[in-house]
Amino acid sequence: MAVRELNCLYEPCPIPLIKAVKELKTMQCGDILVLRSDQSCIGVIVEEWGQQNNYLVRVVDLENGEWEIYIQKP
């Protein structure tokens, strides 16, 4: 089970999600992608997307205004 990090700080929506989807396509089942972003909407949007596509998503609040989003490929 590999863990990959994707730093999307300072990139506005929807770029972090587009990049995450691209990256996840190259990953194996069970792998985890850690997406780092400073967009306030990204947590809710990735959670929605995860629900629609059966990916497990966990959002973690980091220091002021940054989030780490853990996405696991099913």
Partner 1 sequence: MKTNKKQKNQIPYAISIFLIALAICAFLWKYNYKYIPYWIIGIGFGVTLRYSRFCFSAALRDFIILRNIKLLKALLLAMMVSTVGFGIIQYIYLENNPIDYIRIPGSITSVGPHIAIGAFIFGIGMTIAGGCSSTILTRIGEGHAFPWVVSLGFIIGNILGANNYSFWYDKIISNTKVIYFPEYVDLRIVVILQLVVLMILYRIASGYENKKN
Partner 2 sequence: MVEWLKKPWPYWVGGILLGIFNVTLLAITGTVWHINTGFLTWGMEILDFIGIKVYDWRFFKIFNYTYNDIILNHNLFINKYTILNIGVITGSLIATLLSSQFKLKRLKDKKQTILALVGGIIMGYGARLTSGCNIGSFFGGIPSFSLHAWVYWIFVVLGAVVGTKILSKLI
Given a contact cutoff of 8 angstroms between Cβ atoms, the answer to whether 28 and 2 are in contact is: yes
Out of 10, 28, 29, 74, point to the residue binding partner 1 (CB under 8 A): 10
Encoding tokens for residue 44?
């809710």
Using CB under 8 A, list all residues that contact partner 2: 9-12, 14-15, 18-19, 22, 38, 40, 43-44, 61, 63-66
* Binding partner of 16, given partner 2, partner 1, none, CB within 5-8 angstroms per partner class: none
Candidates 6, 15, 32, 34: give the one binding partner 1 (CB under 8 A): 15
